């Protein structure tokens, strides 16, 4: 086959004006000559955003805590629901305790919507629903 292009076909090969291979990412990185000074300048710049950074860190921690605690709370409700259904099937218990499940769901909803329930978890009061 010859190397001539057919009419209407885009050119083959690298784009005009570009070389083949990687770009500047393959070049060696530059090292800061004054690392401590650079960090000092960065912290000086971020000082104006200190409150926003602290709030973001607090929300990240709270999100992690709720991600861990949420399934535990819903697990308690699921266990109670399962025990009630099995009790109804076997005829050995009164059935599903909707009051208990409602309290757990309200507790879980409160944990999601507002952080005031966090001290209650730290104090271990959530175990009162067990």
**What's the average model confidence in pLDDT over 33-37?**
88
**Distance set, CA 87 to CA 8, 50, 93, 129 (Å):** 77, 55, 5, 19
Mean pLDDT is lowest, of 19-33, 46-60, 64-78, for 19-33
pLDDT band at 68 (very low <50, low <70, confident <90, very high): confident
How confident is residue 57, by pLDDT bands cut at 50, 70 and 90?
Answer: very high
14 touches 20 (CB < 8 A): yes
pTM: 0.46
Asked if 108 contacts 74 with a C-beta cutoff of 8 angstroms, the reply is yes
Looking at residue 27, its pLDDT comes to 56
Question: What's the pLDDT at 44?
Answer: 94
Q: Is the pLDDT of residue 56 over 80?
A: yes
């Amino acid at each position: 086959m010859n190397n001539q292009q057919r009419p209407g076909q885009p050119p083959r090969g690298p784009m005009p004006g570009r070389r083949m291979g990687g770009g500047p990412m393959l070049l060696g990185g530059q090292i800061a000559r004054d690392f401590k000074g650079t960090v000092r300048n960065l912290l000086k710049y971020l000082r104006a955003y200190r409150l926003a950074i602290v709030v973001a860190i607090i929300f990240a921690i709270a999100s992690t805590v709720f991600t861990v605690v949420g399934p535990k709370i819903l697990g308690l409700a699921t266990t109670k629901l399962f025990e009630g259904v099995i009790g109804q099937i076997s005829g050995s218990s009164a059935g599903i305790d909707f009051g208990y499940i409602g309290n757990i769901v309200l507790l879980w909803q409160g944990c999601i919507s507002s952080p005031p329930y966090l001290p209650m978890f730290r104090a271990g009061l959530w175990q009162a629903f067990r």
